[in-house]
């Protein structure tokens, strides 16, 4: 059964030990992740089950400049923040973020666990903004460079 390793049954998924991850810029983004994609050897697609407890957030409010991502809600409900707008977001809902769309996050302000399937490209380079923290992250060649937005200038513009 050499191809059994490509398959994760719902029972397999239950028995995977979730990885607790706290976002480096947001202690409230404290959630459990089971990376389905990693378990079966995907390299260029990130596919994760993310379990968000009531009171927790899916991530730091952020946007990507080069990687696309999207979320499908498997169970529970919460609130989706995009730019300065908010939307109810629960079981069976989907949201996608083409590159350079507004920053976003999901908050579990309900009373039960929120379970999301989060999917995204995995490029060798990406740039992401964390506007609530005033930071930009550049990721390339295995490096992560975090910079305050005020530290950035455009050399093509006169000072």
Q: Which is nearer to a copy of itself, 55 or 124 (CB)?
A: 124
Cα angle 127, 83, 113 (rounded to 5 degrees) comes to: 90
Shortest spacing between CB 114 and a copy of itself, in angstroms: 14
DSSP string over 61-74 = SBEESS--EEEEEE
Q: Which is nearer to a copy of itself, 55 or 144 (CB)?
A: 144
Shortest spacing between CB 6 and a copy of itself, in angstroms: 6
Shortest spacing between CB 84 and a copy of itself, in angstroms: 9
Judged on CB neighbours under 10 Å (0-12, 13-18, 19+), 78 is buried
Q: Which is nearer to a copy of itself, 8 or 32 (CB)?
A: 8
Q: Are 64 and 125 in contact (CB under 8 A)?
A: no
């Amino acid at each position: 059964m050499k191809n059994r390793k490509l398959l994760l049954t719902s029972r397999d998924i239950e028995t995977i030990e979730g990885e607790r991850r706290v976002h480096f810029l947001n202690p409230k983004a404290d959630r459990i992740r089971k990376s389905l994609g990693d378990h079966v050897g995907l390299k260029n697609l990130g596919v994760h089950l993310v379990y968000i407890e009531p009171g927790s957030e899916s991530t730091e409010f952020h946007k990507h400049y080069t990687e696309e991502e999207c979320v499908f809600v498997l169970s529970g409900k919460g609130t989706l923040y995009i730019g300065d707008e908010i939307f109810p977001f629960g079981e069976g809902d989907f949201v996608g973020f083409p590159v350079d769309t507004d920053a976003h996050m999901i908050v579990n302000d309900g009373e039960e666990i929120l379970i999301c399937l989060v999917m995204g490209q995995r490029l060798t380079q990406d740039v992401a903004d964390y506007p609530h923290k005033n930071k930009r992250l550049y990721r390339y060649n295995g490096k992560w460079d975090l910079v305050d937005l005020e530290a950035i200038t455009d050399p093509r513009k006169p000072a």
